[in-house]
Structure 1
């Protein structure tokens, strides 16, 4: 979204970026780069090899999803779950890797980038950096993606003034946690439902093919955004606002590019509500 700076007054940039509330110093004694990559790019491996490498590195593979962008591999471990087992934070419990057959590479969602964005003040650099180190050992050497953002701005990230933040989630279903989990499990195309805590789950569900098509319009290189994640806790099924999740997953996206998928955020919410009605 750096291209977007040219479209607005500099006075709006501060409001656009938000603030993280902490300096980029890790509590584990490890410094964080001021600007962190959204994804870490590694040499190509097929899906079975990716799953094997994750397992060898101590991760649990919880599911795979093939899309127009390639195959997303979802994974977690005990440390990631423990860190994210807090109200509204469980989305950080699961990592994503895109096996990109077109570009012949693997693209790993950077746990430092998404961890800071999703965990905010409860972010643990000790956990995120350990996860990244394990991934680098398994898949390295890894290079930074072109997509990047300032570490300090990630916790308060939003696309622009007036657009949603992480906490502005959409409630797409209500009922007992058991009932919502059952609906997610029964839905066609669901990749996985992961238990993060006693009353806390993350479901990775499928949407209409037309809705998923936005990835082809704005860049299949970041296609690990699919499948869509839904947080289930406290009798509610909640999803990140599509305007937030798409933007933070595509930080180089311009306003004009975003406008090409203007109907997608509404379609995402409609598709998710159908699952949990």
Structure 2
């Protein structure tokens, strides 16, 4: 959290024991827990007030649930903040674990200067109430570094997004729906009359990067496309993969050096 956060908020988060807040104010990217079945997870999310909008298989024997609620959608409807409208839960049937994106971490990353602490703490508390006993992932960053995160000098920041296509919003959405008979469209989430977030299935070869740098963070997929202001954009992969894998080493990054370009190419295909 920011240095001037109230002692009350610190006490709440320390009591819950998930975000690894300490003197260095580190925030974990993921909340980890013991394995549960997909249907059970869906019910728990729904009972906590979330809407599950997609069930996706990023790797073999693993399922990502994409979920949202009115509060998250309201945040995502703000200009250039669509990616903050969803959270993700990865259920790993192989390793018998679950991993949930920490709303505080990704809220700070994707909302930037529009981050409203109370909104994302509320989501955090809902998740912990629905799934008792969650623990912090080793993937983490100092709170003050999240919004300004980039992998290294010369690498993109959050705002350095890839422009995939231009045109009327409805025409861009129609192209994604029509591409491959709509089989690659994972979800469509309308956030406002001017903004829609789409979940998109990148190619099988492209998404093999998850196996190389860690299936524990497979909630990184599906990739998302934002349709807003007559543009289709996506988070630059060199940013999105790095912020989703904050412990990624340079050596690991080099093993997937071709992936960011492949992701951008896959995302542009519906608009060609």
Cα distance in 1 for partners of 2:49, 2:202 equals: 30
Q: CA RMSD in A?
A: 1.5
CA distance in 1, matches of 2:267, 2:116: 30
Which digits, 9 at most, give the CA deviation of each residue in 1:4-25, with x for residues without a partner? xxxxxxxxxxxxxxxxxx9344
Give 3-state SS (helix, strand or coil) of 1:213's partner: helix
The normalised TM-score by structure 2 is: 0.90
- Name the stretch that deviates more: 253-262 or 63-72: 63-72
2:58–2:219 Cα contact (<8 Å) kept: no
Q: In the alignment, which residue of structure 2 is the partner of 1:199? A: 194
| Partner in structure 2 of residue 241 of structure 1 | 236
Contiguous gaps of at least 5 residues in structure 1:
1-21
Deviation at 1:194, TM superposition (A): 0.3
Number of equivalent positions? 256
Question: How far apart are residue 236 of structure 1 and its match?
Answer: 0.5
- Is the CA contact 1:180–1:237 (under 8 Å) kept in the aligned structure 2? yes
Q: CA deviation at 1:45?
A: 1.1
Q: Which residue of 1 aligns with 2:45?
A: 54
Q: 1:210 to 1:141 in 2, by over 3 A?
A: same
Which whole-Å CA distance do the structure 2 matches of 1:64 and 1:25 have between them?
A: 38
Q: Is the contact between residue 26 and residue 126 of structure 1 (CA under 8 Å) also seen in structure 2? A: no
Aligned to 2:207: 212
* Bigger RCO (CA 8 Å, 6+ sep): 1
Q: Give the drift of 1:26.
A: 4.1
Aligned counterpart, 2:82:
90
**Contact residue 169 and residue 227 of structure 2 kept, 8 A:** yes
Taking the TM superposition and a 5 Å limit, the aligned residue runs for 1:25-36 are 25-26=4-5, 30-31=9-10, 33=21, 34-36=25-27
Report deviation, 1:140: 1.4
1:150 matched residue in structure 2: 142
The equivalent of 1:16 in structure 2 is: none
- Correspondence 1:254 to 2:223: no
Match of 1:276 in 2: 271
Q: Aligned partners of 1:74 and 1:36: how far apart in 2?
A: 21
1:1-277 equivalent positions in 2, closer than 5 A: 23-26=2-5, 30-31=9-10, 33=21, 34-68=25-59, 70-186=62-178, 187-277=182-272
* C-alpha displacement of 1:185: 2.8
Structure 2 unmatched runs, 5+: 14-20
Question: Runs of at least 4 residues of structure 1 off by over 6 A?
Answer: none
Question: Cα–Cα, structure 1 residues 26 and 156, in superposed 2: closer, same or farther, change >3 Å?
Answer: same
How many Å separate the matches in 2 of 1:27 and 1:192?
A: 37
Distance in 1 between residues matched to 2:248 and 2:265, nearest whole Å: 24
- The equivalent of 2:16 in structure 1 is none
TM-score (norm. length: structure 1) = 0.89
User: Does the aligned pair in 2 maintain the 1:27–1:126 contact within 8 Å?
Assistant: no
CA deviations on 1:198-256 (whole Å, 9 max, x unpaired) are 21111000111110111111111100111101111001110001000000111111001
